[in-house]
Chains A and B, each alone.
Chain A
């Protein structure tokens, strides 16, 4: 069964360092989402791609976060510089075409900033 792949699964970094996460969605899924989930809370959308275009990045802290999906397939989320408050689970999900379709989630990357 096709799955959303994410790497790394765990990342520990010091504050002010740069960190990057990778996501490979299910083949054929046009929509890719990056979410941040702080412990004890629900996921919060950071950025939504439709193919290679950003559809919604209104909640992305653009001074330190960036995301790209250059060829409309896999995607990278970067944080530079990392801050203590960025410690969270970063989840990637994909769907066939937008929110009207079921989202499939990856295993997530748990980031700890020290």
Chain B
């Protein structure tokens, strides 16, 4: 059983739409990462957070420690945002687990 659950698995949106991708985990964590993986495999780290909210450009990541839940939001989505978005959590025992990813397709 994957201890990091992401939803939805696949998401198709029209350009300009507001996107939300969710991540939930099971026990206490030290940090949570949001990663972006483009076709071809390259992975880029978007955010690392342990509380609250972070913003970078059109991307916003939030985390609710009590609810063991994080969301990644994309405002004014663009076709170049099409990628797989992966949530990874660092558990308190220094074990890192990755979600299966959310495949986002933004159509022009």
Chain A: interface residue total (CB-CB under 8 A):
21
Give Cα A45–Cα B43 distance, bound, in whole angstroms: 15
A21 within 8 A of B: no
Interface stretch of the complex, out of B53-61, B63-71, B92-100:
B92-100
Chain B, interface size category, equals: 20 to 34
* Chain A binding surface SS class: loop
B52 within 8 A of A: no
User: Contact residues of B with A, CB < 8 Å?
Assistant: 2, 4, 30-31, 33, 35, 40-45, 48, 86, 88, 90, 94, 96-101
* Chain B binding surface SS class: strand
Give Cα A89–Cα B31 distance, bound, in whole angstroms: 25
* Contacting pair A107 B41 (CB below 8 A): yes
* Contacting pair A107 B98 (CB below 8 A): no
Give 14 pairs: A residue, B residue, CB < 8 Å, sorted on A: A42-B100, A43-B86, A44-B98, A91-B43, A98-B94, A100-B90, A102-B45, A103-B33, A104-B45, A105-B35, A105-B42, A105-B44, A107-B40, A107-B41
